[in-house]
């Protein structure tokens, strides 16, 4: 690493102790863009990097609500408004007990470069709460969302900050949040994305992150003159991103052999077909059950519990051609990454945000895998959110094939700019370098043009 990057990172570390995920994300970006900073004196002079790692604004607030037993619950809510140089703040809300400021800052920071890559005018933000929707009744979730929005509403708006979903925030939560915003603000406007189709949502938004990731993977494979057809694929997670990754992989003729939740994974040697995928969607989106039930239902599948597994996750030892981690951050460590390489995987495309540790990513780059970092590969979700905002502004709803066509074109464009930047900086095929450089320069130039602030 260059002395310049060492100094920058030491400064960020000193200012942000106890935020390991944020520091991990910053280090990845700093390392990738080092040659850009070395070459561009104005970026250094105007301290673009020191400015881009500092959120424009952080809002932290109390969320009080009453559970079904009549007990008062207190949670902590946040919105990190990271960067608005190229558009209004945009990024999801995460409801999960692990949520803290450091995690949201890592996610908001990733979002800066991801949103820049989409070709759309989207700034970056992220928010959420340490609320666990698991095991809560619909009314409890509704009361929590109402309490959360009763503070957040004053900080967001269609030209200011437009949140969406993330872990623990799907269609149900977006509905409760939007209803509360509409009543408090007395405006019906496109303030959230991922809305229901009858009230301003976009076709293909639920599918967008998973479909987009598969489109991105297909582009990477195309550089080696091959396709997804007949490839065996490992998918982790069983939520929104995983479900539509599996759907598109099936459509393109791949064989998906796994999915997971936070308790364990299922490995289905016969492959997950459309019928089995419907079972997963019903299980996770309606009945809100555990993935173990998949193995109880289908005899070709085995269930492996992973709670408490610390040194490695046996899911990543299964034989496959491609892997689509789609659950959460750091789900693939150095041992898992080495196992994936050893078992012959040639492509890893990140549906989740930062699912691979820094050491794991290093393995993939060393082994010259086709390795799509989340800020490029999973940008389809926020891209279609941007298209939902465009439809809301027009007061129109576009056809399914039109939105999907835009999504496909955007993912191809993200692949092209990332590949081209990797070539310009002498590391062809290094999408980590390419995506970071392409995203960074777009935002950095906008910040330069808009003056110091």
Cβ–Cβ < 8 Å for 145, 129: no
351 binds ligand NDP (CB under 6 A): yes
Other beta carbons within 10 Å of 146: 17
Fill in the per-residue mask, 174 to 213: x = in contact with ligand NDP (CB under 6 A), - = not in contact.
-----------------------------------x----
Burial class (CB in 10 A: 0-12, 13-18, 19+), 202: buried
Does the protein bind ligand NDP through residue 325 (CB under 6 A)?
A: no
Q: What is the DSSP string of 333-374?
A: -HHHHHHHHHTT--EEE-SSSS-B-HHHHHHHHHTT-EEE-H
Binding mask 271-310 for ligand NDP (x = CB under 6 A): ----------------------------------------
Does 102 engage in binding with ligand NDP (CB under 6 A)? no
Answer yes or no whether residue 330 interacts with ligand NDP by CB under 6 A. no
Kindly calculate the radius of gyration of the chain based on its CA atoms and give it in whole angstroms. Answer: 21
326 binds ligand NDP (CB under 6 A): yes
Taking CB under 6 A as the binding criterion, the range among 6-14, 144-152, 172-180, 235-243 that sits at the site for ligand NDP is: 235-243
If one asks whether residue 237 binds ligand NDP (CB under 6 A), the answer comes out as yes
Chain CA centroid to CA 284, Å = 19
Which long-range contacts (C-beta less than 8 Å, at least 24 apart) are formed by 389-398? Answer: 389/158, 389/162, 389/190, 389/193, 391/200, 391/202, 392/158, 392/189, 392/190, 392/200, 393/158, 393/190, 397/197, 397/202, 397/203, 398/202, 398/203
Question: 206 and 342 in contact (C-beta within 8 Å)?
Answer: no
Return d(Cα 313, Cα 336) in angstroms, integer.
6
255 included as an active-site residue: no
Residue 332 is given by DSSP the state B
Which of residues 37 and 116 has its CB atom nearest to ligand NDP in the complex? 116
How many residues touch ligand NDP under the rule CB under 6 A: the total is 22
Q: Report if residue 264 touches ligand NDP, rule: CB under 6 A.
A: no
Nearest to 122 by CA among 83, 157, 152: 83
Binder to ligand NDP among 28, 161, 166, 219 (CB under 6 A)? 166
Q: Does 353 bind ligand NDP (CB under 6 A)?
A: yes
CA distance 125 to 154: 15
Nearest-CA neighbor of 168 among 234, 231, 77?
77
Residue from 75, 83, 180, 240 binding ligand NDP (CB under 6 A)? 240
Is residue 373 within the footprint of ligand NDP (CB under 6 A)?
no
Which of 25, 30, 53, 167 forms a contact with ligand NDP (CB under 6 A)?
167
Note whether 232 binds ligand NDP by CB under 6 A.
Answer: no
Single out the segment in contact with ligand NDP by CB under 6 A; choices: 147-155, 159-167, 311-319, 412-420.
159-167
- What does the alpha-carbon distance between residue 129 and residue 165 come to, in Å, rounded to a whole number? 12
* Contact call for residue 127 and ligand NDP (CB under 6 A): no
Q: Which of 352, 361, 407, 410 binds ligand NDP (CB under 6 A)?
A: 352
Q: Indicate the residue among 77 and 373 with the shorter CB distance to ligand NDP.
A: 373
Q: Which is nearer to ligand NDP, 8 or 410 (CB)?
A: 410
CA distance 374 to 350: 5
CB of residue 206 to ligand NDP, shortest distance in Å: 8
Reference 376, options 126, 121, 111, 164; nearest CA is 111
Q: Nearest distance from residue 144's CB to ligand NDP, in Å?
A: 15
- Identify which of residues 36 and 163 has a Cβ nearer to ligand NDP in the complex: 163
In angstroms, what is the minimal distance from the CB of 236 to ligand NDP?
Answer: 7
**From the list 261, 268, 336, 388, which residue makes contact with ligand NDP (rule: CB under 6 A)?**
261
- Residue placing its CB nearer to ligand NDP in the complex, 321 or 388: 388
What 3-state class would DSSP assign to 144?
helix
Q: Report how far residue 95's alpha carbon sits from residue 98's, in angstroms, rounded to the nearest whole number.
A: 9
Tokens of 335: 């041992």
Q: Choose, from 126, 248, 255, 276, the residue flagged as catalytic.
A: 126
List, by residue number, the catalytic residues. 126
Interaction site with ligand NDP (CB under 6 A):
165-168, 170, 209, 237-242, 261-262, 326-328, 351-353, 378, 381
């Amino acid at each position: 690493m260059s002395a310049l990057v060492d100094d920058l990172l030491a400064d960020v570390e000193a200012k942000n102790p106890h935020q390991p995920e944020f520091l991990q994300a910053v280090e990845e970006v700093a390392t990738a863009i080092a040659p850009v900073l070395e070459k561009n004196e104005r970026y250094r002079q105007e301290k673009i990097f020191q400015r881009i790692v500092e959120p424009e604004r952080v809002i932290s607030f109390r969320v009080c609500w009453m559970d079904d037993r009549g007990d008062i619950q207190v949670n902590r809510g946040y919105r990190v408004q990271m960067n608005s140089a190229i558009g209004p703040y945009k990024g999801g809300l995460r409801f999960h007990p692990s949520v803290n400021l450091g995690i949201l800052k890592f996610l908001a920071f990733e979002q800066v470069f991801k949103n820049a890559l989409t070709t759309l005018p989207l700034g970056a933000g992220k928010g959420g709460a340490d609320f666990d929707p698991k095991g809560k009744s619909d009314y409890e979730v509704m009361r929590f969302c109402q309490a959360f929005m009763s503070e957040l509403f004053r900080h967001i708006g269609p030209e200011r900050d437009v949140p969406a979903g993330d872990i623990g925030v799907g269609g149900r939560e977006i509905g409760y949040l939007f209803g509360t915003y509409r009543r408090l603000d007395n405006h019906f406007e496109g303030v959230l994305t991922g809305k229901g189709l009858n009230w301003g949502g976009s076709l293909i938004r639920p599918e967008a992150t998973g479909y987009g990731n598969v489109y991105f993977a297909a582009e990477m494979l195309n550089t080696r003159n091959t396709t997804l057809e007949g490839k065996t694929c490992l998918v982790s997670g069983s939520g929104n991103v995983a479900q539509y990754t599996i759907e598109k992989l099936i459509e393109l003729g791949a064989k998906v052999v796994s999915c997971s939740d936070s308790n364990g994974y299922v490995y289905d040697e016969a492959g997950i077909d459309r019928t089995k995928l419907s079972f997963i969607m019903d299980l996770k989106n309606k009945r809100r059950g555990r993935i173990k039930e998949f193995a109880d239902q289908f005899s070709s599948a085995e269930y492996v519990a992973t709670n408490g597994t610390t040194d490695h996750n046996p899911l990543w030892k299964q034989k496959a051609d491609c892997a689509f981690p789609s659950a959460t951050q750091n789900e693939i460590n150095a041992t898992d990454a080495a196992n994936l390489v050893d078992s012959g995987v040639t492509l890893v495309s990140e549906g989740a945000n930062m699912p691979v540790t820094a050491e794991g990513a290093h393995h993939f780059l060393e082994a010259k895998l086709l390795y799509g970092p989340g800020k490029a590969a999973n940008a389809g979700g926020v891209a279609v959110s941007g298209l939902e905002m465009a439809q809301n502004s027009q007061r129109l709803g576009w056809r399914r094939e039109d939105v999907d066509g835009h999504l496909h074109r955007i993912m191809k464009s993200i692949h092209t700019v990332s590949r081209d930047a990797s070539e310009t900086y002498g590391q062809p095929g290094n999408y980590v370098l390419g995506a970071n450089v392409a995203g960074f320069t777009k935002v950095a130039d906008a910040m330069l043009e808009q003056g110091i602030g």
